Structure 1
Amino acid sequence: MDAMIATFLIQDGVTSGAIYALLGLALVLVFSVTRVIFIPQGEFVAYGALTLALLDNGRIPPTISLLVCFGAVAFLLDLWEMRRAADARTFLRSLGLNLLLPGIIYGIVTALAPLSLPSFAKALLTILVIAPMGLYVYRIAYRPLADASVLVLLICSVGVHLAMMGLGLIFFGAEGLRAQPLADANYTLGSLMVPAQSLWIYGSTIAIIIALYVFFERTLLGKALRATAVNRLGARLVGVRTQLTGVTAFMLAATIGAVSGVLIGSITTIYYDTGFLIGLKGFVAAIIGGLASFPITAAAAIGVGLIESFSSFFASSYKEVIVFGLIIPVLIWLSLSHTFHEEE
């Protein structure tokens, strides 16, 4: 291997690592606030990439129908909760959030999908469709179990992952799709050719990291999320609406997943189940970061991308084993250097 090949491998590893960083940050965000190991994070990536690919072909994506179904189920659950103590304000809020919002999104996408929109506008439409799914997934699957143990929440996550993967097969089919890049240009940096899509990935990752930092440090809602992460019961006692923080965390995770799908959809062919493997690599980075540290998770994700890139060159048959094997020494080190409560 010469310097030229190494340079290309580093570029490919950093590009993949930036995507894994986004997913790792989303996993850490959700776990720190709700104690949920969000296994379905990868499904939002696949949904986003497949939705964008269908919009590129001028077709109406089936995810808008799925969004309406999610909203209807959430509305029925709200009605069940309001069966004994219903009031007009709560009913209208649930009606607007669970039925009116998906209906508006359905109408917007149906009207704009056949048009020849710019790539950036299609990406925004994709995020508009996928982001609210995080709210409905939380409402349907996780909010009833908000006070359950981590093990129960993990089992719930496995169930949600299997359900969303099956829905992806039903709505998108078994064939893979690839979206158009946000920009077709290429830039020369010395002897290295850098695609504009890679620059979009780097810039989006940096922008999201900065936005998360500002959100948690400068906004009241971000501080409420931090308080919930430190002590859920204490935050509730001082007036923090923990259900709102859970909804916010899941919507942010779904948005990050949608952005990741938009960015990666033009790099590789995406199938209905591709998101699971991508999400697992983000999970490796989150584990290295202890499911607590955003900076360590982002740095670990870049490392995971580089190791995957070089492993594909030297031992392509074992690259997945090498990447997932990174968890083992980290878990051994954590078990030897930290004392955990039995419940944790």
Structure 2
Amino acid sequence: MKKIGILTSGGDAPGMNAAIRAVVRTGIYNKAEVMGIKEGYKGLINGYIEEMNLSSVADIIHKGGTILRTARSDEFKTEDGKKKALDMLKKFKIDGLVVIGGDGSLKGAQSLSDLGIPTIGIPGTIDNDLGYTEYTIGFDTAINTVLDAISKIRDTSTSHGRANIIEVMGRNCGDIALHAGLAGGAESIIVPEEGLNIENVCKKLIQGKNRGKLHSIIMLAEGVGKRSPYELGNDIEKNTGIETRVTILGHLQRGGSPTAMDRIIASKMGAKAVGLLLRGAKSRTVGIRENKVIDMDIDEALCIEKVFDHATYNLTKILSI
């Protein structure tokens, strides 16, 4: 393993730069060249590849986003696109590849491994929607970003005596809404795993109002139910008489300096990925379980269903009475 490639793919996540830094420096420490592939699989197909050195990753551990940039590539999903990517790896004499991204990115890593390129995946997505790992890079930063927004919104909601719906990312996984809602003391948390029961939401708001509560926070994972968040807000206002506002945090959740936790797990995962390549691993992905860095076959990892934390969800209902 003389030359290692690294790319970031799919949605960016805070902590990706810390993982890139760990891969580059661990590789160089072990006498391997490291090639940075810009703009994900699109950049791989088009040859956006350059050698990285110690200076390439200096002063990036605290930065959000990804210095390698990222892009989605429909061409890579085709057999011809994969062949072009494989040919480019051979052209640059890259012996092994590290891919940082979500489930789609890991599937791409698996396809390259099937074509003969040893490939290691690192889970980077704020949604925390991969079942094989307890945490993905960027999740902790995202929930802290949401928590900061909750605190600010609570101030103005209290001043006006309003309820506020805060929509966060997580179309198929409610972890951001759940964890930020628990930490932020939300009155109601609406996630795809549990669905929307507007009667229960309204009942809780009315009960709070009757005991003198001046504000209410409703956490909403995007895409839950058939209503838009604005339609949901109008329905709540009509049924409760409580003025309701909507805040959609959107891509704000993907930005910002990564938390200490994200920097630490990203660094550990990056070093682990290089170690696996140097030991001859060919189709693995790394993750976190019980505060330890683990690795497993990519196919096996992607088959593990994400299990929703119903115990924590039930706790939020108890604590928000």
Q: Would you call these one fold, judging by a TM-score over 0.5?
A: no
Choose 1 or 2 for highest CA Rg: 2
Superposition TM-score, scaled by structure 2 size: 0.31
| TM-score after normalising by structure 1 | 0.29
Greater RCO (CA < 8 Å, at least 6 residues apart):
1
Q: Could you say which structure has the higher helix fraction? A: 1
Structure with higher strand content: 2
